[in-house]
Structure 1
Amino acid sequence: MKVIQGILLLVAIGITNGAEAKLQCKGPHVNVPKDWITMVPPCIQKMRDQVEIELRAAVTYLAMGAHFSRDVVNRPGFAKMFFEHANEEREHAMKVIAYLLMRGELTSDVAKLIRNPMPLKEHWESGVAALKDALKLETEVTNRIRSIIMECETPQGETFNDYHLVDYLTGDFLEEQYKGQRDLAGKISTLDKMMESHGALGEFLFDKKLLKGQPV
């Protein structure tokens, strides 16, 4: 019986693949002028790499949210905050992709932008430990963005200075990164003090404030 099921499965896959092959179509080659495409190779590669960096940050925040959602941890406030951070990092990756599309530099190897990013960790001993890891993660992302800015403002071996990309990253990304880092640093300071004075109860109260969206 299992053999018959296996044969039927293979036949079904073959039929499906054949149908997909018939549905595929190739349009005529379009000769679009390339003069408007001005990004230089070092900037292109760094921006492509940034997509993976943002997605890795998003997956790490998802892991944090999942960890604090576990019944044996049960910190819904922390989970809510980290899931929100995951959405923000995913949106950042989408913004980088949109920028590459706007500049005409996403016409090939699109699948290579997403290479199964894995979270940096999956378990955290406490809320403070997770916040400290989040701050390290944001600092790494910030430094990567700054490296793109430095590379594209004066690209080595190139005469083209990409001031538009530099302005875009400085205005749209860096300010948000710096604000996020300051927010995490403040949360670490507050939670450290609360745990020093109240122990485990301090983390519990901090989590309730996060859940209600109250300032901490």
Structure 2
Amino acid sequence: MRSIILAVFFVCAIGLASPALQCSHKELDIPKDWIDMDQLCIQKMRGQVEEELKAAMQYMAMGAHFSKDTVNRPGFADMFFKSASEEREHAIKLISYLLMRGELTSKVSSLIKRNLMPAQTTWINGVSALKDALRLEASVTRKIRDVIKVCEGATSYNDYHLVDYLTGDFLEEQYHGQRDIAGKVSTLEKMTEKHGALGEWLFDKKLLKGEL
């Protein structure tokens, strides 16, 4: 066994020393004509990546709160954890788009510059959490619209493709999501008004079963 380990070690050492296996390479001479995004638009897109991740962290905090044994609302927890995953997926989509356009090929480590810790970690009940979720979605929507505004008219040229992508893919989902949360707030408030804590418990069970 010892001889096998030594053999593997020497093979790895030889491999690392071989120039053919090195990861570094000379700077490639690739034409830059195809990279045409405006810098102000790029900055807004990078900022939106942070907004999506910030929203994801807030939803994770919501999911964690409702997962606690002292709260025990698995339906709410599942909904908010899924929302966190969706926000992370949005951030990945934005990063992928920038890469497609030739951006983020350098200084990737500076993409996230601020503290993304959630602003709130506890809620008094399900209604308050849903209302905060609706405010969060509305804030993200406004930020996306701001990106669209900048990339459409406040830059050196109208970035039609990016504007269409954000409008069709992101805003469509945002508006549907906002309406869904608003409906949940309405339903839950009516249930708790009539049945009190039992109304929230029943609402949570319906969430867990996917009936809301």
Find the aligned partners of 1:68 and 1:135 in 2 and give their Cα distance.
Answer: 17
Find the aligned partners of 1:191 and 1:35 in 2 and give their Cα distance.
Answer: 54
Q: Does 1:167 align with 2:164?
A: yes
Alignment-derived partner of residue 146 in structure 1: 145
Q: Does 1:180 align with 2:177?
A: yes
TM-score using structure 2 length: 0.88
Alignment-derived partner of residue 195 in structure 1: 192
Alignment-derived partner of residue 29 in structure 2: 31
Q: How does 1:95-174 map to 2 (within 5 A)?
A: 95-115=93-113, 116-156=115-155, 158=156, 160-174=157-171
* Match for residue 88 of structure 2 among 87, 90, 94: 90
Residue 55 of structure 1 deviates from its aligned partner by 0.3
Unmatched segments (≥5 aa) in structure 2? 1-15
Alignment-derived partner of residue 74 in structure 1: 72
Deviation string for 1:22-59 (max 9, x for gaps)?
Answer: x9742111011111011001100000011110000001
Alignment-derived partner of residue 208 in structure 1: 205
Residue 114 of structure 1 deviates from its aligned partner by 2.7
TM-score using structure 1 length: 0.86
Deviation string for 1:88-135 (max 9, x for gaps)?
Answer: 000000000000000001111112223451112111111001000000
Does the residue aligned with 1:68 lie in a helix, a strand or coil?
helix
Unmatched segments (≥5 aa) in structure 1? 1-18
Q: How does 1:10-25 map to 2 (within 5 A)?
A: 25=23
Deviation string for 1:42-88 (max 9, x for gaps)?
Answer: 10000001111000000110000000000000000000000000000
* Match for residue 50 of structure 1 among 21, 33, 48: 48
Q: Which amino acid aligns with 2:56?
A: A
Does the residue aligned with 1:124 lie in a helix, a strand or coil?
coil
Find the aligned partners of 2:119 and 2:169 in 1 and give their Cα distance.
Answer: 25
Q: Which amino acid aligns with 2:76?
A: F
Q: Which amino acid aligns with 2:145?
A: R
Deviation string for 1:143-188 (max 9, x for gaps)?
Answer: 00000111111124x2x11010000000010000000000000000
Find the aligned partners of 1:113 and 1:124 in 2 and give their Cα distance.
Answer: 31
Find the aligned partners of 2:80 and 2:50 in 1 and give their Cα distance.
Answer: 19
Find the aligned partners of 2:136 and 2:174 in 1 and give their Cα distance.
Answer: 11
Alignment-derived partner of residue 9 in structure 2: none
CA RMSD of aligned residues (A): 1.5
Alignment-derived partner of residue 8 in structure 2: none
Q: Per the alignment, do residues 140 and 24 of structure 1 end up closer, same or farther by CA in structure 2, a change over 3 Å counting?
A: farther
Alignment-derived partner of residue 60 in structure 1: 58
